[in-house]
Amino acid sequence: MIDKLFLNIDFWSAVFGFTGSILLFFFGLPPKIDPEGHIHLILEQIDKKEIKKGRIYKKFGYIGLLFIALSFALQVIKLIV
């Protein structure tokens, strides 16, 4: 029973680590868009679509970081147990 738990921890650790890395690769640093919606060629204009994209990029970036942290936490749990 405990061996199956360790196998599951390894599996989920790898899944969360891989998924978090992929999310950070696409949505992480540096941001590809301005999260405030400013268009840098015309400084007084704000694009509502860019604001929405900025929120999505920020959310998925944080989810990626959370998944990587969860991956490390699962590996530490396995070492302690």
Listed by start position, the domains of the chain span: 2-80
- Return the biggest CA–CA distance within the chain: 63
- Would the pTM count as exceeding 0.75? no
Q: Using one digit for the tens of pLDDT, what is the confidence trace for 57-81?
A: 889 988 999 999 999 998 888 888 7
pLDDT at 42: 59
Cβ(52)–Cβ(60) below 8 Å: no
Reported as a single tens digit per residue, the pLDDT across 27-62 is: 876 555 666 666 666 556 777 888 888 888 889 988
Cα distance between the two ends of the chain? 13
